[in-house]
Amino acid sequence: MNVSKINRVLVTGGAGFLGSHICERLVEAGHDVICLDNFFTSQKTNVAHLLGRPNFEVIRHDVTLPIFLEVDQIFHMACPAAPGHYQFNPIKTVKTSVMGSINMLGMAKRCGARILLASTSEIYGDPLIHPQPESYWGNVNTIGVRSCYDEGKRVAETLFMDYHRKNKVDIRIVRIFNTYGPRMHPYDGRVVSNFIRQAIQGEPITIFGEGEQTRSFCYRDDLVEGIFRLMNNEQNVIGPINIGNPSEFTIRELAELVVQLTGAKSSIEKRPLPPDDPTRRQPDITLAKKHLSWEPTIPLREGLQKTIDWFRTIDLDHYRPPTPNYV
């Protein structure tokens, strides 16, 4: 595929946190972009600034239902990703990952389009290997409350590989680790947005357990750059490839840093650990370095400050919690 030409590009979940930035970058590059979203956990304001552009359009549609479009590339980003949201309607979450992938892969097969799957570090479950390389098969509870998302994404990866092997569909699979940055939904239930929102509102910051579980936080710009490098590589590197920041922090360390950067007086309150919450999470990015010449460049302190600055510019009254399940 000649990536220098103008492509017709579909971005499912295109009004979401990451999807909107992918749309923005594609529009700026001159591509003809279709943003497909059902606006369950996304925000129209994320793409409002693109609506007047002649090479951008929005379609309200649920990926679990078929749709017929003519495209050259598909960024398949659609799926609730925060635990409170994907557990709100777990059956719909599985359908989004499985039926949504079948519909998008069918389109890619018909159009001869390249398609990228936004998979997740959650496919590793509560890992017994640390850090997690792509060769690790994971430690996932198939019947737990997080299984709808974890197993849904694992099946999506299976579908992508089978369409590639049997139907020669041109695929890419990226495993996304914890990501943060401007345009996170303030009520998405993720730890970074929870902590910042609670801090700037002067509320207690809530952590689960003692906060000793670890995560590796990748700033949005670094993550999106990795996605584009994987999508546009012409070396037949299809993945799966981990994209994330290998710098590991405890949740308590994150909470303390947010308090420091916001200047908040928030106390830290402990709540019971949720079921199947991974104790450690850190990507092995050896393959990304080797095949994509990619590694993150923005440290947590800098990225958090940018995110906090953005949170201070928004009116929280203009956002509604997508589900009751948020901290």
pLDDT in tens, 297-308: 999 999 999 999
Q: How confident is the model at residue 326 (pLDDT cuts 50, 70, 90)?
A: low
Q: Are 145 and 275 in contact (CB under 8 A)?
A: yes
Kindly list the catalytic residues.
Answer: 149
pLDDT in tens, 217-242: 999 999 999 999 999 999 889 999 99
Q: How much is the pLDDT for 209?
A: 86
Helix (H, G, I), strand (E, B), or coil: what is residue 173? strand
Which residue blocks in the chain are alpha helix, DSSP H? 17-28, 83-86, 90-111, 147-167, 191-200, 220-232, 251-262, 286-292, 300-311
Q: How confident is the model at residue 287 (pLDDT cuts 50, 70, 90)?
A: very high
Average of per-residue pLDDT across 58-78:
97
- The per-residue pLDDT of the chain, averaged, comes to 92
% residues pLDDT > 90 (the chain): 77
Q: How many CA atoms lie within 13 A of 22 on its CB side?
A: 30
Whole-structure pTM value: 0.93
For helices 191-200 and 300-311, what crossing angle results, to 10°? 50
Please report, in angstroms and rounded to a whole number, the separation of the first and last CA atoms in the chain: 44
Q: Is 226 exposed, middle or buried (0-12, 13-18, 19+ CB in 10 A)?
A: buried
Q: Are 283 and 245 in contact (CB under 8 A)?
A: yes
pLDDT in tens, 124-180: 999 999 999 999 999 999 999 989 999 999 999 999 999 999 999 999 999 999 999
CB-CB neighbours of 135 under 10 Å: 9
- Domains in the chain, please, with CATH? 8-177+220-243 (3.40.50.720), 180-216+247-281+298-318 (3.90.25.10)
Indicate whether 85 pLDDT > 90.
no
Q: How many CA atoms lie within 13 A of 227 on its CB side?
A: 29
Q: Which residue has the higher pLDDT, 202 or 287?
A: 287
For helices 17-28 and 220-232, what crossing angle results, to 10°? 60
The C-alpha angle with vertex 89 and arms to 87 and 90, in degrees rounded to 5, equals 60
